[in-house]
Structure 1
């Protein structure tokens, strides 16, 4: 197999040369013709003939917390996603190989971070401002594309514990599930931090697909700072941390005489690292005991199991590929070393309901994350040792309703409503001097725009 670095460098050089040639050709010459939409399309077609595709997507959103949370207020958040996918067989003759890379430019404040105080972020775009490499991988297809091997920095949320009916939603937990996004180091390989890894995807039959991946177990170096600060540019490329493994089997089927397609997936993950006990210290005392050392028991390993069901419920008469679909996802992890021990979400997505607006979508979904028994027992002990009736955390839940309006082929506007129950799982409101009142439920309204170039 050809070496990855020379191939990538050659692709980059060829691409740069083509772009420079196209730009200089448009800028000089007897005709001095301007760069028009026609010439841009000509350039895109020329690159496509070479197996090179570019994508640029910009998501901008204004979100406001109008009631509850830590405080009321509004933010603007934006993320530009710039990427390329290169067919290496067409470009350099590497049979069955594909190269992909993309980067983020993130800017603006975060509503959850600054105003709501919840665990499952109001927006999946929310992150610390940065310009960072996200993905950079090569995929090799074998046996007529029945086996796909992907190597490099990559996310896990696009294939694992995923449903095609959750793509419309804004809340971060309705992308990468709330449980894994909260309990895994650095949130696991998901926006805004991917991790180096190897993923295998095997098409075992027409209806059965198996996935297995091994990632470095932490996208950021150890230490107390935010992982997004420790790996600010996405170039840490960590490979020496205890690994994280995830696997799943996905089965496709059709339901009833209408042949409504559906899938069911089941899987598990396993992390080989060390995790702190949420309740007990190494000295055997409660971590809430002021006479204890405050050093938690270090537990080996962590794991979880999960399941996903998605089902189309109705074919649209406008377009049979569209209609009404539903999904349910659930996951369980140990309650002694994780803040969340049980998670479930689900929702409905409707499209193809209007002949005049065939690409519009309506979505309604809800999430529920249960605070683990270890964390709850710590809260009970804290009440005992402080004699203050501080809240005992129990759960966080979110209801989201949204409408995707496709105004042009390249531009969509999406109003969104979220109701956040028990932000932080029922944390103490930092504005309450008595320390006995929870953060109040939050009501969030906003609007997101998505532009593709």
Structure 2
């Protein structure tokens, strides 16, 4: 017994010494301007009701990154370097079971080890202008809200319309692209953003973009560019100065896109006499807006409370699967003294299938004589609660209701080809651990 206690005490002492050594190392690296982060997200989702078929999956993503203050490290004034990489494993509920457009989870991706971000940023004009160059995503700063970070559905991060209609889903997880981003503090309340990205993370042609750029190191710069700009205005509401933001912007893609209903001769793609090759449409564009508002402050922490967000976007119908998009939600945090860091939220998304896609579906009924479904919209409703178990571990149960998966697409299991994919109910649990 004495020997066992001695060994146990020695092990505890070794653990404490190791933790102290790690902390000392972190502090020394921070003094040099070097920071590391390591986060693991593991999640299980199941759809016992609806979808293409019922099932369950596990998905995991390890995110390893570093941020280096180059001014501290090498004396380059106002410069910062950042890089991070993903190790993704497991299956995806949307691609394997539900069949929906707006993925059940933003973590869902094909298994791979891939570089994500790799950029350098320089602060100029006393920090009022930030210039970032390198491989980077767009979803962190553009069409984003501080109150959508709780939610699991992919569309509640990078908006569903952008992830669906842009080549390779646009610069968002798991595919970032080379680009240049400018961020300017125009006034105390007004911030401007402008970025030029390569227009596609993967080479042209058929196939999954994640398979065509399997490790995120193609660094493509030869594709027609994608340009996006945004103005963000910050304000305070009422006598308690509740913070809010209004953002508006536009994007423009210089590539070519398939017409959704006609071939090059102007004949319906559903017509048996059609060439089957869609007419090519030059360029693509979109408008978007974001509103977010803190509705009430937490009695425990004025920085927390109930926050509302609403986002919307439109794009042309003739060259896009989705022409109108709307999402919104509300997030609560800081309302329990026992659990001050827990978060609860409800949110919903709506993606309308474009007029030209519906026209194609109508023509398909006409030419085949089969009452195939006419796609109309896909919508998601999500409820989520994040339990902050320790400062480094959060556990999050999630429920999603998926309406009209695939926009109301034909159920591939229906031999008559007249039934839609059934609405799905999804249950999940996510754990997030930071090291």
Normalised TM-score (structure 1): 0.92
State the secondary structure of the residue aligned to 2:127: coil
C-alpha separation between the residues in 2 aligned to 1:189 and 1:330?
19
Shift, 1:151, TM fit: 0.1
Give the structure 2 partner of residue 349 of structure 1. Answer: 331
Determine whether 1:449 maps to 2:431: yes
Match of 1:150 among 132, 151, 155: 132
Structure 1 residues 281 and 449: alpha-carbon distance in aligned structure 2, compared to 1, 3 A threshold? same
Determine whether 1:186 maps to 2:168: yes
State the secondary structure of the residue aligned to 1:344: strand
Give the structure 1 partner of residue 269 of structure 2. Answer: 287
Give the structure 2 partner of residue 74 of structure 1. Answer: 56
Structure 2 gaps of 5+ residues are 1-13
Give the structure 1 partner of residue 182 of structure 2. Answer: 200
Shift, 1:34, TM fit: 9.1
Determine whether 1:435 maps to 2:412: no
Give the structure 2 partner of residue 236 of structure 1. Answer: 218
After TM superposition, the structure 1 = structure 2 runs for residues 152-301 of structure 1, keeping only pairs within 5 Å, are 152-301=134-283
Determine whether 1:398 maps to 2:374: no
Deviations 1:140-168 (CA, angstroms, capped at 9, x unpaired) = 00111100000000000000000000000
Deviations 1:36-94 (CA, angstroms, capped at 9, x unpaired) = 11101011111101000000000000000110000111000000000000000000000
| Higher deviation after alignment, 404-413 or 284-293 | 284-293
C-alpha separation between the residues in 1 aligned to 2:39 and 2:15?
28
C-alpha separation between the residues in 2 aligned to 1:283 and 1:143?
54
Match of 1:376 among 352, 358, 364: 358
Structure 1 gaps of 5+ residues are 1-31
Shift, 1:130, TM fit: 0.2
Match of 1:107 among 89, 96, 104: 89
State the secondary structure of the residue aligned to 1:84: strand
Give the structure 2 partner of residue 15 of structure 1. Answer: none
State the secondary structure of the residue aligned to 2:126: coil
State the secondary structure of the residue aligned to 1:337: coil
Give the structure 1 partner of residue 23 of structure 2. Answer: 41
State the secondary structure of the residue aligned to 1:173: helix
Shift, 1:223, TM fit: 1.4
C-alpha separation between the residues in 1 aligned to 2:267 and 2:371?
21
State the secondary structure of the residue aligned to 1:240: coil
Determine whether 1:53 maps to 2:14: no
C-alpha separation between the residues in 2 aligned to 1:268 and 1:147?
20
The root-mean-square deviation of aligned C-alpha atoms, in Å, is: 1.0
State the secondary structure of the residue aligned to 1:36: helix
Determine whether 1:337 maps to 2:319: yes
State the secondary structure of the residue aligned to 2:88: strand
Shift, 1:356, TM fit: 1.0
C-alpha separation between the residues in 2 aligned to 1:112 and 1:33?
42
| Higher deviation after alignment, 290-299 or 105-114 | 290-299
State the secondary structure of the residue aligned to 1:144: helix
State the secondary structure of the residue aligned to 2:357: helix
Give the structure 2 partner of residue 24 of structure 1. Answer: none
Q: How many residues align?
A: 422
C-alpha separation between the residues in 2 aligned to 1:159 and 1:376?
33
| Higher deviation after alignment, 284-293 or 113-122 | 284-293
Runs of 4+ aligned residues of structure 1 deviating over 6 Å after TM superposition are 32-35
Shift, 1:33, TM fit: 10
C-alpha separation between the residues in 2 aligned to 1:283 and 1:257?
62
C-alpha separation between the residues in 1 aligned to 2:139 and 2:325?
16
Deviations 1:375-433 (CA, angstroms, capped at 9, x unpaired) = 10000000011100000000000000000100000000000000000000000001100
Shift, 1:284, TM fit: 1.6
Give the structure 2 partner of residue 126 of structure 1. Answer: 108
C-alpha separation between the residues in 2 aligned to 1:345 and 1:363?
13
State the secondary structure of the residue aligned to 2:265: coil
Determine whether 1:137 maps to 2:116: no
C-alpha separation between the residues in 2 aligned to 1:395 and 1:388?
21
Give the structure 1 partner of residue 4 of structure 2. Answer: none
Shift, 1:290, TM fit: 1.1
